Amino acid sequence: MRYSGLKVITEGLFGNKGWKPAWRDPAPKPEYDAIIVGGGGHGLATAYYLAKDHGLTNIAVLEKGYLGSGNIGRNTTIVRANYFLQGNSEFYSHSLKLWEGLEAELNYNVMHSQRGLINLFHSDGQRDAFVRRGNAMINQSDDAVLLDREGVRKLLPYLDFDNTRFPIYGGLLHPRGGTARHDAVAWGYARGADTRGVDLIQNCEVTGIDIENGQVTGVQTSRGAIRAKKVGMIVAGRSGQVAAMAGMRLPVESHVLQAFVTEGLKPVIDHVISFGMGHFYISQSDKGGLVFGGDLDFYASYASRGNLPMVEHVMEAGMTLMPMIGRAKVLRSWGGIMDMTPDGSPIIDKTHINGLYIDCGWNYGGFKAVPASGWCMAHLMATDKSHQFARRFRLDRFATGHVMDEEGTGSQHNLH
Amino acid sequence: MRIPCPHCGQRDRREFYYSGADDLLHRPATDDPAAWDNYLHLRDNPAGDTRDLWYHEPCGTWIVVSRNTVTHAVDGAQAVTDVAQGVRT
């Protein structure tokens, strides 16, 4: 069913009785050409591009819960392309271009809002680093504008400019950065994949990966064995467990990252703002809630909830930056399981087993990457070759020393 | 979350610095690059019981904490100096 304004009006006139489920609920077939483990944003996007661009429609997405039940529905929805390192730069640039066409592509309102992202800086050294980053973004044909203190004040008059510990020197504005409706991205890709014949199988947990003579032959699941010569593992925080089924040990440690949302308020924050000194970032959702977050809790965790010390730290950072939000009431906080790599960059690569592919290590930047990750992973699974935009996201780069440490924080999983 | 320091007793999590799984206690005996990759980067990353390294800043002790990554329950802790530092060959 194609959605349109006319359809909405017609359905409104006739009691909304004509809407149909956006995707089927098929039983698993005994065999597929390819299987994607994980029905989150990246898995659904991979399935979509496999079907649309590579003609692979006899495929299944296996999801142990419901579609979009993981990090795609738990993140702070920021979409940006402000990376510095070669490899990251072209990948996220491509992702942002896909975002810009996504609603037309999927015939689905993902509420992509390019409201502008501002990274604040607080010292001369930080300004130099941001000038350099802005130049890298412009070289990548993306957009960056350096704002001085008065430039920031014009856009964000409510910040505490007189803070003595972290005086605001200026900010790097990325006008095409913004936010999107996170669930809608998963649903849009799911519907697009389903329409093209992809079986989206929910409540189907993969319990084993079948390998014969170095070639993957299928998976064992809670709904029986399914054969396939190609299997993609796209399970984010659970990558360690799924890869272990294939006898692999990954450069990944899973950590909890918390996020917070306040009660709905009148429009007050027009941009996405990040405050690197306190590690705090904030935007306002279309419902009016202030959505914000900070650092990891810093210890390995699968709990999907965090501890109070980081709650306190995030609130302190928020109050340091913009005291005006002090009266807003926090409605909810939650945690997501982040697949942290030792250099903070992701992995989209083949494994040592033929037909087994992996897409993981998104740290806490996976949401904006969803379109390009799906695009590049689909290319890899269909052609057996890395896409040019993902060629540096190698699984073996830690062993060979080709690391991509965007923040330059060193080889420890929780420091990125 | 509270962590039992062997010297100081139950202390608030904020007094501790986290350094990852206790793999770092098993330094490779060889200069084989694969062994070093395994030691530095690769992790079992268990969902459940784990042993990891924490540093108690007030008393300056590195400890190995036995805890659960799903429930955040902490079972106990030992000073690293009391843990046999196995060498992987």
User: Does the pLDDT value for residue A110 go beyond 50?
Assistant: yes
Residue A416 banded pLDDT, cuts 50, 70, 90: confident
Contacts of A309 in chain B (CB under 8 A): 12-14
Residue among B42, B69, B72 whose CB faces A249 most closely? B42
Q: Does B18 touch chain A (CB under 8 A)?
A: yes
Q: What's the confidence (pLDDT) of residue B85?
A: 64
Instruction: Report which of residues B87 and A131 the model is more confident about.
Output: A131
Mean pLDDT value across residues A62-86:
96
Mean pLDDT value across residues B2-13:
96
User: Does the pLDDT value for residue A184 go beyond 80?
Assistant: yes
Contacts of B1 in chain A (CB under 8 A): 307
With a CB cutoff of 8 Å and minimum separation 6, the contacts of A217 are A210, A211, A227, A228, A229
User: Does the pLDDT value for residue B88 go beyond 60?
Assistant: no
* Per-residue pLDDT reduced to its tens digit, A246-269: 999 999 999 999 999 999 999 999
With a CB cutoff of 8 Å and minimum separation 6, the contacts of B31 are none
Q: What's the confidence (pLDDT) of residue B40?
A: 94
Mean pLDDT value across residues A372-382:
98
Residue B86 banded pLDDT, cuts 50, 70, 90: low
Mean pLDDT value across residues A149-156:
98
Mean pLDDT value across residues A223-242:
97
With a CB cutoff of 8 Å and minimum separation 6, the contacts of A109 are A3, A103, A181, A184
Strand partners, B5: B9
CA distances from B2 to A57, A199, A284, A290, B56 (A): 51, 46, 34, 31, 12
Using the beta-carbon criterion (under 8 Å), do A342 and B40 form an inter-chain contact? yes
Q: In the A/B pair of chains, how many CB contacts fall below 8 A?
A: 72
Of A361, A402, A388, nearest in space to A239 by CA: A361
Contacts of A249 in chain B (CB under 8 A): 38, 42-44
CA distances from A207 to A243, A256, A351 (A): 11, 24, 19
Residue among B34, B45, B47 whose CB faces A250 most closely? B45
Contacts of A244 in chain B (CB under 8 A): 44
* Contact (CB, 8 A) for A213 and A46: no
Mean pLDDT value across residues A399-413:
91
Q: What's the confidence (pLDDT) of residue B89?
A: 43
Residue A357 banded pLDDT, cuts 50, 70, 90: very high
> What whole-number distance in Å separates Cα of residue A152 and Cα of residue A159?
9
Of A69, A72, A64, nearest in space to A366 by CA: A72
A64-82 as b/e, with b when 16 or more CB fall inside 10 Å? beebbebbbbbbbbbbbbb
Contacts of A302 in chain B (CB under 8 A): 47, 69-70
* Crossing angle of the two packed helices A366-383 and A41-54, in degrees rounded to 10: 40
With a CB cutoff of 8 Å and minimum separation 6, the contacts of B74 are B1, B2, B3, B4, B65, B66, B67, B68
Mean pLDDT value across residues A375-402:
97
Distance from CA of B84 to the nearest CA of A (A): 23
Mean pLDDT value across residues A275-287:
94
Of A405, A22, A18, nearest in space to A195 by CA: A22
User: Does the pLDDT value for residue A233 go beyond 80?
Assistant: yes
User: Does the pLDDT value for residue A317 go beyond 70?
Assistant: yes
Using the beta-carbon criterion (under 8 Å), do A299 and B18 form an inter-chain contact? yes
Using the beta-carbon criterion (under 8 Å), do A299 and B21 form an inter-chain contact? no
Q: Does B70 touch chain A (CB under 8 A)?
A: yes
Q: Does B88 touch chain A (CB under 8 A)?
A: no
Of A85, A333, A72, A92, nearest in space to A186 by CA: A72
Contacts of A250 in chain B (CB under 8 A): 42-43, 45
Q: What's the confidence (pLDDT) of residue A164?
A: 86
- What 3-state DSSP class applies to B74? strand
Q: Can you give the length of chain A in residues? A: 416
* Dihedral sign computed on CA atoms, order B34, A409, A388, A36: positive
> What whole-number distance in Å separates Cα of residue A225 and Cα of residue A187?
27
> What whole-number distance in Å separates Cα of residue A178 and Cα of residue A80?
6
Q: What's the confidence (pLDDT) of residue A378?
A: 98
ipTM: 0.93
Using the beta-carbon criterion (under 8 Å), do B34 and A399 form an inter-chain contact? yes
Distance from CA of A80 to the nearest CA of B (A): 28
pTM of the model: 0.96
With a CB cutoff of 8 Å and minimum separation 6, the contacts of A186 are A40, A41, A44, A67, A68, A72, A73
The identity of residue B87, as a single letter, is V
Of A54, A49, A127, nearest in space to A94 by CA: A49
> What whole-number distance in Å separates Cα of residue A186 and Cα of residue A184?
5
Of A385, A371, A282, nearest in space to A324 by CA: A282
- When scoring B24, B32, B41, B53 by the number of chain A Cβ atoms within 10 A, the one with the most, hence best to mutate, is B41
Distance from CA of A253 to the nearest CA of B (A): 5
